[in-house]
Structure 1
Amino acid sequence: MSRLVILFVTFLTVLCENERVFLDFDPDAERSMSCRSDEFQCYVNWHDSVNVGGSVATLISPNNTDSNDFSSGLAALQQLVDEVYSDGRRMRAYGSKWSLSNVAYTNDVMMNSQGLTYCKVGIDDESHVTAAYKGIRNRLAIVQAGMMVRDVHQALKVKNLALSTTGAGDGQRFAGAISTGTHGSALHYGAMQEFVRALHIVIPGEHVLLQRSSDPVITDAFGEWMDGSRVIANDTLFDAAVVSFGSFGVIHALIIEAEPLYELKLQSKQFSYDLIKPVLESLDPSSLGFDGIYSDLPFHFEVAINPYNRNTNGCFVRLFEKVTLSDEEFQIQQESGLLDAYDPEEADLFEAVGQAFRPSMGLLPTAAMRKVVFGRGVQFALRKVFQTKSRTEQSKTKKPYEWFTFKGAHDPSTMSPVPGTAFEIGVPAERVVEAVELIFSIVDTNPLAAPVAIRFIKKSRATLAFTKFNLTASIEVSGPYDRVFFRSQIEIRNRIYEALATSGIPHTYHWGQGFPVNDVWIPSAFGEQLDTWKKTRAEFLGDSIETFSSDLLEDIGLYP
């Protein structure tokens, strides 16, 4: 079998490199097919995903004229929002284009936030913060929407500070990552929106600062300093807006709380599924034999499974223990220059999967052949990311921004190594095995070129956060998907969506990744929270609600 597969893949590779074959395009991709990533009037995401983006009537890129001041960028953004509203048009903002869904897309006006990169760590004036935050105002940061997560890391680390959590990479723009609910696996902390203390949002006629009334951080004096912004303290409004993917106005900046710089100690191993399943059921990792790990889960715990090798060491476990730095260690780092810019070499899971698969692999004629080839590709990718074979990395301690990064993410013009997509499901942690085995039951006979990755995240207060359960298990499936070679992959993903819908397993979907485009799953997932979100949005925006709506919001029942 293996020699036959190799010969067949070689044949297809040669054929497809020399001829345009199998041009049976996806009939639902007409909108995105009308665009190419090198065309100015198009929005195409970083992953070149099918059915994401399309033609755009107007593309605008407001910029700060002074990198040390936000006022010029804010003024340009206010003018843009007012004009869009006056003209009766719709608008959306985007940054690094990492979204795998159309939450950041409209075919009308799109604003590129990459020129809004003001960042200030520490609030100098005591009168700008409430009494509860005076003692830690040096840990508050004002971050404009266009700052890349990587750049926020750089700004914080020179102050011996760090973000409490991030996603697996650092190429996203800050506002986009937070407003879609991006997360890591900090199961005792939560997703990125949890460190946001205030949102600075531009709407027609004004700009406002939103914060929780139960946890006020900034004062009216801060609002005056921020070019006369009105401060609103309201829990319901803040919780609805913080994860709203651009639907409450254009986010200009965020006020976040960082924490003292820390390090993470890596351990990773490979197992068979019969050893991992009871751990996923009990969340007790003591049986896995990691040094110093007993019945409690560490700071970060994740599992990625190769569905086709799961019974032969195809389950990869990576955990990080949080290491607090002493004052002496902080001083040593400052004096030795260890806080200089870092140059990552690793790949993230999406990039590693892209490196593992060639287009011709998607055209293998039988499920048995695809299982063999996909299994090898996924195993290669997981070994690369989890570094289970690297003795030098085991028990190594690094800063969080040194672990959760990859070289290909930092140039905003860099495209994904292979056209691809992903979806990410959120389920109650106690139902994770049931959900994972449902996926296995489908891909065992209809192979999907993707691993199944599992992380755990604390519940969020955000109204439409996909991490809504007391402890959410996220199940991410990412891999190649184009209109020719891997076009069958979307059919398999749809089967998974349909199976979940009828399974009785409570579930949500990550807003920044693929999800079913219908108006059924969101009411089922969020219930009264959906009504609260829509009512809060309507009351806040009034007659400007149309400005920040989109076709997607209509299709999934979030508007009107």
Structure 2
Amino acid sequence: MAQVTRHGQQIWCNYHQTAECNLGDRIELLNGDEANGRAHLKGVAETVLALLKEAKYCQIPVRPIGAGWSPSPINVVEDGWLVETLRLNRTFKLSAKDLHADCDVGAESLLLVQAGATVDEVYESAEEIGRSLRTGGASNGQSFAGACATGTHGSVWQEGGIQDHVRAVQLVTPDRILWISPKKAILSDDFIAQTGSQIIRNDRIFAAAQIHVGAMGFVTAMLIETDPIYMVQNIQKAAKIKREHIDWLCRGEFRRFSAAFGLNEEPYFQQLILNPFDPFDKKSLLRFLYKRPHDASIPPPPPGQMGAGYDALTLLGRAMAESDWFKGEILQLAMEQAYPDNRDVDDPPAIATWGNTTEEHAPIASLFNGSVTMDRSKLSEAFDLIIDSFRRGGGCTVVTLRFVRQAQGLLAPAHWPDNVVIDFDGPNVESSHQGYKNVVEALDDAGIAFTRHWGKTNNLDEHRVKRDYEQNFANWKWAQAQVMPDAADRRVFANDELVKLGLI
């Protein structure tokens, strides 16, 4: 069994200090001294099962919490129990004898990841065995399970979200411990039985569990698939773009765009950070990552030469929000200070493993973090509309363009074949909220379909979630009912945000 520490009633605030609640109890879980990974997973799951049974009997809502990273109130639970998993952070290799006869991937590509392991810890575990993740968000401090639950994405244009790595989920409800995977089996029945889990092999239920938004149960572990280790070369610079470059990106002409500003090859990852007050006459911040073979003899450069520098954007944006004077100029200063180490094509190359592409992160207080995701082919049509409506609303954040393929999971925001994600990151002031609200209304008025990130400020409700996801939402609700047929079980995971979204 896992060790349980009850810290009692207290005020809890999330990582970025954007939401808080009065907890009935903060409960911390820690691994026991079991002999192997299967026993660890079984012990933790049985401990969580007992907690959930108690919570159901006492009618107390429960929220599992990893790093508490999401700026949205999706993690808060007034007068409930917050169950912390960050110390459940082990990862385990598998061997060929653990695989099902129908499995079509090698054991060397698989990792068992406990719910509290952070993205950075998973990077490190993968690299220790010569493997790598394919994509990830802008930061590395989230729990891997939490990042998957909200559909976190990066800007790897040939990949979807971080949940695409997931091949199975151990999920606990107040009634049972489940092992949910696709119909095509990966791990053997005997291995799964030793984790204390009942098996559900169903493609639709698995697709729901990949992005469960904390409303399908308590995830205690995940099985993820990795790639052979590789490296990436970073090019990041400040440069002016033109309107025609937006059209190139809209059409997916990424190599053409890269050749104009970076290397004349297909980028693996690319993003643009724009000044919405003057996106074409002010410099944008461009970042490209190009895939390279792994070479253990190459020492990693300092993090600033590989990272994106989001903190400077947000913290300097706060000063800009204090005044209406010269907003564009102050924002430009903030942007250019965010890239203190330009890495241009003529500079000595900055090359590191994928796990070294994100920087260590500190909490950003009073953060505003919103986004819209849409079909990439709509970018040219929507770009001017978004910029103009954002400015009219008084928005005072930077605007970032990212590009991803269709992501896995029924509730994945990136559900078009090719997607552009447009982020609005800056200070948590009224003008940021109003600018974002104007963008959402303008897109609706223009009839341009879009979705929003589950873990960010999104202003969603059940009606809009149903409209955005249609049959996928209905399938997700069906899957939730298969996992937790008893409505009383589902209510254990309720909070105001999930009820508003129609997910509980």
Task: Give TM-score, length-normalised by structure 2.
Answer: 0.89
Q: Per-residue displacement from partner, 1:359-404 (whole Å, max 9, x unpaired)?
A: 4x4231x3x53333233323433x34xx43667866422111111x
Residues 180, 276 of structure 1: CA spacing in aligned structure 2 closer, same or farther, 3 A cutoff?
same
- 2:472 aligned with 1:472, yes or no? no
1:430 maps to: 377
Q: Per-residue displacement from partner, 1:229-262 (whole Å, max 9, x unpaired)?
A: 1121000100011101211100000000111100
Q: What is the deviation of 1:458?
A: 1.1
- 2:290 aligned with 1:321, yes or no? yes
Amino acid at match of 2:361: G
Amino acid at match of 1:517: L
Q: What is the deviation of 1:520?
A: 3.1
1:115 maps to: 87
Please state whether the residue corresponding to 1:488 is helix, strand or coil.
helix
Amino acid at match of 1:301: Q
**Residue number among 493, 506, 511 corresponding to 2:454 in the alignment:** 511
Q: What is the deviation of 1:345?
A: 4.7
Moved more, 144-153 or 394-403: 394-403
1:246 maps to: 214
The CA distance in 2 between the partners of 1:501 and 1:191, in whole Å, is 25
Residues 498, 445 of structure 1: CA spacing in aligned structure 2 closer, same or farther, 3 A cutoff?
closer
Q: Per-residue displacement from partner, 1:411-438 (whole Å, max 9, x unpaired)?
A: xxxx32x421211111000012333322
1:545 maps to: 490
Task: State the number of aligned residues.
Answer: 487
Matches within 5 A, 1:194-209: 194-209=164-179
- 2:268 aligned with 1:276, yes or no? no
1:398 maps to: 352
Matches within 5 A, 1:81-480: 81-107=52-78, 108-121=80-93, 123-124=94-95, 126-133=97-104, 136-213=106-183, 215-226=184-195, 228-269=196-237, 270-285=239-254, 286=256, 288-290=259-261, 292-293=263-264, 297-325=266-294, 329=295, 344-345=303-304, 348-359=308-319, 361-364=320-323, 366=324, 368-381=325-338, 383-384=339-340, 387-388=341-342, 395-403=349-357, 405-409=358-362, 415-416=363-364, 418-480=365-427
Q: Does the 8 A contact of 1:442 with 1:492 survive in 2? A: yes
Residues 394, 268 of structure 1: CA spacing in aligned structure 2 closer, same or farther, 3 A cutoff?
farther
Q: Does the 8 A contact of 1:183 with 1:192 survive in 2? A: yes
Q: What is the deviation of 1:456?
A: 1.1
Residues 435, 44 of structure 1: CA spacing in aligned structure 2 closer, same or farther, 3 A cutoff?
farther
Q: Which 5+ residue runs of structure 2 have no aligned equivalent? A: 1-7
Amino acid at match of 1:158: E
Q: Does the 8 A contact of 2:170 with 2:180 survive in 1? A: yes
The CA distance in 2 between the partners of 1:186 and 1:116, in whole Å, is 29
The CA distance in 2 between the partners of 1:433 and 1:388, in whole Å, is 28
The CA distance in 2 between the partners of 1:154 and 1:254, in whole Å, is 16
Q: What is the deviation of 1:553?
A: 2.0
Q: What is the deviation of 1:117?
A: 1.2
The CA distance in 1 between the partners of 2:342 and 2:395, in whole Å, is 23
Q: What is the deviation of 1:196?
A: 0.5
Amino acid at match of 2:76: Y
- 2:466 aligned with 1:523, yes or no? yes
The CA distance in 2 between the partners of 1:443 and 1:281, in whole Å, is 20
Percent identity, aligned pairs only, is 22
Moved more, 497-506 or 524-533: 497-506
2:27 maps to: 60
Q: Does the 8 A contact of 1:378 with 1:450 survive in 2? A: no
CA RMSD of superposed structures (Å) = 2.6
Amino acid at match of 2:137: G
The CA distance in 2 between the partners of 1:350 and 1:63, in whole Å, is 32
The CA distance in 1 between the partners of 2:464 and 2:119, in whole Å, is 31
Residues 149, 40 of structure 1: CA spacing in aligned structure 2 closer, same or farther, 3 A cutoff?
farther
Matches within 5 A, 1:65-80: 65-66=32-33, 70=40, 71-80=42-51
Residues 289, 391 of structure 1: CA spacing in aligned structure 2 closer, same or farther, 3 A cutoff?
closer
1:5 maps to: none
Amino acid at match of 1:407: E
Please state whether the residue corresponding to 1:62 is helix, strand or coil.
strand
The CA distance in 2 between the partners of 1:400 and 1:225, in whole Å, is 33
Q: Does the 8 A contact of 1:343 with 1:407 survive in 2? A: no
Q: What is the deviation of 1:298?
A: 2.4
1:492 maps to: 435
Q: Per-residue displacement from partner, 1:283-308 (whole Å, max 9, x unpaired)?
A: 214254256535xx522122221112
Residues 79, 491 of structure 1: CA spacing in aligned structure 2 closer, same or farther, 3 A cutoff?
same
Q: What is the deviation of 1:498?
A: 2.1
Please state whether the residue corresponding to 1:397 is helix, strand or coil.
strand
Q: Does the 8 A contact of 1:61 with 1:113 survive in 2? A: yes
Q: Does the 8 A contact of 1:201 with 1:209 survive in 2? A: yes
Q: What is the deviation of 1:272?
A: 2.4
The CA distance in 1 between the partners of 2:63 and 2:264, in whole Å, is 45
